[in-house]
A and B are shown apart, each in its own frame.
Chain A
Amino acid sequence: MRMKNVPFCLILALFIASCATLPNPPSVLYQEFSQYENSANRDNIVEVASNFFSPSLLGKNYQANPDALSQLLFKNYMASTESHFEKIDEQEGCLTINGYDEENYPLIFSLKYISHNNHWLIDKIHVVFVENKIDFSDRAKCPSDYPN
């Protein structure tokens, strides 16, 4: 009788162990954002923009548009990150990042991503300057979730 219980206990132990070590959902979009954050700068943003932004966001003449340089480097609005959330629905996803600017005022990035040739690209950028950290988002929100 005792011997019969051994396999069952073993399976149960393995099951519990596997539950305990289940990884958190992978931060796919945040990893994409981190790549942009770490590699894009004033010297290369025009050249690398198509690696991070969708064709519809960039439009046709972004290379010659003087506003493109600073706006495509919107990452510079945020000096430190507090938390991030994301959701993915097949071909689209949204990433929300809570953080602080260089004067330590809170702000939120709400980014819409689209899958383009098996690569996640930023399609909409919404920077939200909030008054207080209690205004931080506690979940992934798409730019369209914010009122116009």
Chain B
Amino acid sequence: MDLKRTEAKITIAKLIELAYSKDKGMTVKIMAKKGNAKLTVDQNGNATLSGSAGIMTFSGAPVLEKVGAKIKRVSVNFNNKDGMKVGYTATFDLEYIKLSILGDFDLEELITSCSGLLCRAARALKGRHHAYDMELQKIMGY
């Protein structure tokens, strides 16, 4: 299976969401700090979010398992320019090809998107929730 542009963007949003659900304080501290941060996930789903504000680890497996293609590595470089507007370059290493995606998102919008009913419904389903995916897609670009 290949990986589409929108699926890649939603995957990044969901990885941040996973970090947030593991440790809200540290995720916000790292992501909201001006400057660079990095998120990496290996093929076993071991994820690390790091920046000048700190470092945290979590399992990205629940998100990677939802992606159709086998992913060998995900690497996302974040650049926070003004505290809430975050630019990113994400690279997905697949078996035969490498995919990169460039974009930006509003951190506050992403975090608050996961405090409402829609997010709870998505989690309750423990799978894909179309309306929630559409919401994430909108936040991450288009």
Contacts and interface: CB of A to CB of B under 8 A. Distances in A.
A83 B81 CA distance: 32
A105 B8 CA distance: 14
B55 to A, nearest CB: 19
B5 A148 contact: no
Contacts of B99: 126-129
Nearest to B93: A148
B94 A67 contact: yes
A25 interface: no
A147 interface: yes
A68 B2 CA distance: 9
Contact of A131 (B69, B95, B102): B102
A129 B95 contact: no
Contacts of B1: 66-67, 70
Nearest to A76: B2
A77 B1 CA distance: 13
Contacts of B5: 101, 105, 107, 129
Contacts, number: 67
A57 interface: yes
A125 interface: yes
Contact of B100 (A68, A105, A129): A129
Given A68-B95, A125-B97, A147 B89 contact: yes
Pick from B1, B70, B97 the residue with the most CB of A within 10 Å: B97
Contacts of B2: 70-71, 74, 77
Interface string A14-47: 0000000000000000000000000000000000
A146 interface: yes
A143 B99 CA distance: 10
A113 to B, nearest CB: 15
A128 B102 CA distance: 8
Interface in B88-122: 89, 91, 94-103
Contact of B103 (A126, A131, A146, A147): A131
B101 A71 contact: no
The 9 closest A-B pairs by CB, nearest first: A71-B96, A70-B2, A125-B97, A129-B101, A128-B100, A129-B5, A67-B95, A126-B98, A71-B97
Given A57-B96, A66-B1, A147-B77, 10 more contacts: A53-B96, A71-B2, A74-B96, A124-B98, A126-B97, A126-B99, A126-B100, A127-B98, A143-B98, A146-B91
